[in-house]
Amino acid sequence: MLFKLKLIIISLLVAAGLGIFTWQADYYFYVLEFLIGLHLLLVWPFIKRLRFVAMPFFLSSGALNLLYLVDGETKRILFIVLATIVYYLALLGAYRLRHYDCDLTAQGMINLATIVTVFFWFVSNYGWYLNFDIDSWVLVVVFIVSTFLITFPSLAICFVSCYKIRYRRRKWGRYITRQELISALTEQIKVERIALFFSSILALIMGEIIWGLSQWPFGYLVTGTASVLFFFLFWIIIRRFIQGRLTRKFVVVNISLVFILVILMLVTSPWTLR
C-alpha cells in the first residue's frame, strides 16, 4: 500500500502552503498557523498517535523555515517538491505503523523522514540564529526540544518492534494467555520509557554540540550540516544498540567517517570571523 488518497491530499495541502509562502513571503505566520491547524484537525485524527504527528509537523514547519533561506524561484519549487515527497512518506510510514508496529518498510520511511527533518530544522534554525538577533540560549533550547520530539518516534518504534519480534518468536507467533498479553504490554511500556531516556540524552547532547558549533566562524549551511552529521552518528549508534547489532568496529568506522566529513567541510568552506 504505497498510495493513500487522504495522505496525498494532506501532502498537497502542505505543498500549497509552502507555495503560497514562496510567492508571498509576508504570509509566513499565516502559513505556520495553517500547518498547525492542518496537523491538529486532519493529521492527528487520522494517524491517532501524537508522537507520530510531531514528525510531520516539524518536517513541514522546518521546510517552511528553510524555504525562507533558499534563493531563486526554481530552487524553491524543487525544494517544495522534494519536501512534499518526504512528507508524504512520513505520513504513510506513521499510518502503517499505526496498524502494525513491526512494519520494517514503514520504519524505513520514518527513519528517512527523521534525518530529513533534522536537516531542515538544524540548518534553518541556525540560519535564523545568524540572520536575526536571537540569543544563543534560545538556539540551544530550540535544538534540545526539537531534537527530542523528532527523535523519539523513530527510537520508540525501534525499541517496541524489536521487543515484539523477540517476544512473538518465543511464543510461536501468538500470545498464549491473557496474563502473558498483560505482561507483554507492561514490558512494552518499560521499553518506551527506555526510548524516552535515550531521546532525552540525545537531545541534551545536540544542545551541547550546537552551543559549541555556534562559536565556529562558518555560515548556517556548514554549521547546520555538521550538527546533522553528529546527530546521525549518535542516532545510528543508539539504533544499532537497540537492535543488538552494535560492534566496536561499527562505532570506530562511523566516528572516523563523520570526523573526516566535518574536517573536509571546514577545509573547503570560507571562514567568516564574527
Contacts of 65 (CB under 8 A, 6+ apart): 120, 121, 124, 125, 127, 128
pLDDT category at 5 given cuts 50, 70, 90 is confident
Yes or no: say if 50 and 5 are a contact pair by the CB < 8 Å rule: no
Report the alpha-carbon distance of residue 91 to residue 85 in Å, rounded.
Answer: 10
175 Rama class: left (phi>0) / alpha (psi -120 to 50) / beta: beta
- How long, in residues, is the chain? 274
Yes or no: say if 58 and 121 are a contact pair by the CB < 8 Å rule: yes
Q: pLDDT, tens digit, for every residue of 80-133?
A: 999 999 999 988 888 887 776 667 787 888 888 889 989 988 888 888 887 777
Q: Which of 96, 90, 239, 89 is nearest to 156 (CA)?
A: 239
Report the alpha-carbon distance of residue 90 to residue 137 in Å, rounded.
Answer: 30
pLDDT at 44 > cutoff 60 = yes
Q: pLDDT, tens digit, for every residue of 153-204?
A: 777 776 666 555 555 545 444 544 555 555 555 666 666 777 788 888 999 9
pLDDT at residue 219, as a whole number: 76
pLDDT at residue 188, as a whole number: 61
When pLDDT is averaged across residues 45-65 and rounded to a whole number, the result is 83
Q: Which of 199, 187, 198 is nearest to 162 (CA)?
A: 187
Q: pLDDT, tens digit, for every residue of 226-268?
A: 888 999 999 888 888 877 778 889 999 999 998 898 888 877 7
Global pTM value: 0.81
